[in-house]
């Protein structure tokens, strides 16, 4: 089982980061030199990518039974075209970003954001990550490619080699993307099983790394209406690029939803027992005779000046939302645990229209 190998992969990450640390100390890595080719980086790829291969295959084998509609695990499968493709289809990993947290590199915010698995299994060589292309070149053609480079450097003190070989020479960006690819997969492995929820107060986005940090997003409910769905969530732009997502516990959202529903139903009952309101609704055109009582309360107040019901509905919604927002903004983990409102962290495997919560359970509890 993969769980038994986690200590081994943890050690591999420490070893990899020690090598990366030495590279960062020995080379001045800035925006200007990020894409400068350096044959000395080859050894880092040749030692790191095989570990990525092993972890990708172990993850595929571990998760294969949970996704029977996707490709089954094969003992001799290719780590990119088979393992990484499966993991992307199952967990939506391709768009995920990793952040460089270390100050040993002097990089802009944009260059500190890496997408190591984007197009990892693409058949178009122009789209694939350079860390895979570079590794494949040196893995399969190590003697000819490496000798061509070293011979050219010894004779001319420059890279007088064909463009295709030159483009495969690893750069500092290649090294960082290689290491971040391993870190991303390690985060996934550490977060299994998929149904496991990590309490927010226990979540460490660095996962023991001194160089990288995992990204996470926190979609907040914007309101607690009678029927909740994804439209009630405020999601940041490109929220699918975050590796993790922070969610409220279902029980907490159910309690807030029930408070709103109870108060709303009380106001709704009063409205239905008021002849003037019923007469007003009867006169509305069909296009306005909505069953959405908040809208009807607003239209009734607009027409008659009696805004008490609409004011009570908006006040109820505002009070619940303020309590919800204050609970999160306060970040008092002990308090949130005491009232069972501490958020949980899960892998962000959601795609654009996937429901982020079990709305059927929330709306019917």
- Each residue's pLDDT, cut to its tens digit, for the chain (365 residues) gives 899 999 999 999 999 999 999 999 999 999 999 998 888 898 899 999 999 999 999 999 999 999 999 999 998 999 999 999 999 999 999 999 999 999 999 999 999 999 999 999 999 888 999 999 989 887 765 555 556 655 555 455 555 555 555 677 899 999 999 999 999 999 999 999 998 899 999 999 999 999 999 999 999 998 887 789 998 899 888 999 999 999 999 999 999 989 988 998 898 898 889 888 888 888 877 666 555 788 888 888 888 898 998 898 889 888 888 888 888 887 789 988 998 999 999 999 998 889 999 999 999 98
The number of angstroms, rounded, from the C-alpha of 351 to the middle of its chain's C-alpha atoms is: 10
Residue 134 vs residues 34, 84, 347: alpha-carbon distances, Å: 16, 17, 29
The rounded distance, in Å, linking the Cα atoms of 127 and 114 is 15
How many other C-beta atoms can be found within 10 angstroms of the C-beta atom of residue 74? Answer: 13
The rounded distance, in Å, linking the Cα atoms of 294 and 291 is 9
Q: What's the pLDDT score for residue 206?
A: 97
- Residue located via tokens 């420490």: 14
Based on its alpha-carbon atoms, the radius of gyration of the chain, rounded to whole angstroms, reads 27
Q: What's the pLDDT score for residue 223?
A: 83
The number of angstroms, rounded, from the C-alpha of 190 to the middle of its chain's C-alpha atoms is: 15
The rounded distance, in Å, linking the Cα atoms of 249 and 197 is 9
Closest to 356 measured CA to CA, from 202, 253, 205, 215: 253
- Two tokens, residue 101: 């947290």
- Residue located via tokens 């178009």: 124
């Amino acid at each position: 089982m993969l769980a038994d190998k986690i200590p081994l992969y943890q050690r591999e990450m420490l070893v990899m980061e020690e090598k990366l640390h030495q590279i960062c100390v020995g080379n001045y890595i800035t925006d200007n030199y990020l894409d400068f080719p350096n044959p000395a980086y080859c050894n880092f790829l040749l030692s790191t990518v095989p570990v990525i291969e092993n972890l990708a295959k172990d993850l595929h084998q571990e998760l294969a039974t949970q996704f029977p509609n996707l490709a089954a695990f094969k003992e001799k499968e290719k780590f990119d075209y088979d393992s990484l493709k499966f993991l992307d289809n199952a967990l939506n990993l391709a768009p995920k970003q990793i952040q460089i947290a270390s100050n040993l590199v002097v990089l802009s915010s944009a260059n500190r954001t890496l997408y190591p698995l984007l197009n990892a299994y693409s058949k178009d060589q122009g789209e694939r990550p350079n860390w895979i292309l570079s590794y494949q070149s040196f893995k399969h053609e190590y003697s000819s490619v490496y000798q061509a480079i070293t011979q050219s450097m010894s004779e001319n003190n420059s890279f007088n080699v064909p463009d295709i070989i030159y483009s495969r020479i690893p750069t500092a960006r290649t090294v960082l993307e290689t290491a971040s690819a391993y870190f991303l997969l390690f985060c996934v492995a550490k977060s299994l099983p998929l149904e496991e929820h990590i309490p927010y107060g226990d979540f460490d986005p660095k996962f023991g790394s001194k160089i990288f940090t995992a990204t996470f997003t926190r979609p907040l409910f914007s309101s607690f209406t009678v029927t909740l769905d994804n439209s009630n969530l405020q999601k940041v732009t490109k929220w699918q690029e975050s590796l993790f997502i922070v969610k409220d516990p279902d029980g907490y959202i159910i309690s807030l939803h029930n408070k709103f529903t109870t108060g709303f139903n009380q106001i709704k009952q009063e409205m239905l027992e008021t002849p003037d309101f019923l007469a007003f609704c009867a006169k509305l055109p069909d296009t306005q005779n909505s069953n959405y009582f908040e809208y009807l309360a607003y239209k009734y107040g607009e027409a008659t000046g009696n805004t008490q019901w609409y004011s009570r509905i908006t006040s109820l919604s505002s009070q619940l939302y303020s309590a919800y927002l204050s609970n999160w903004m306060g970040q008092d983990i002990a308090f949130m645990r005491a009232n069972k409102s501490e958020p949980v962290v899960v892998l962000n495997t959601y795609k654009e229209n996937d429901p982020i919560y079990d709305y059927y359970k929330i709306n019917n509890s």
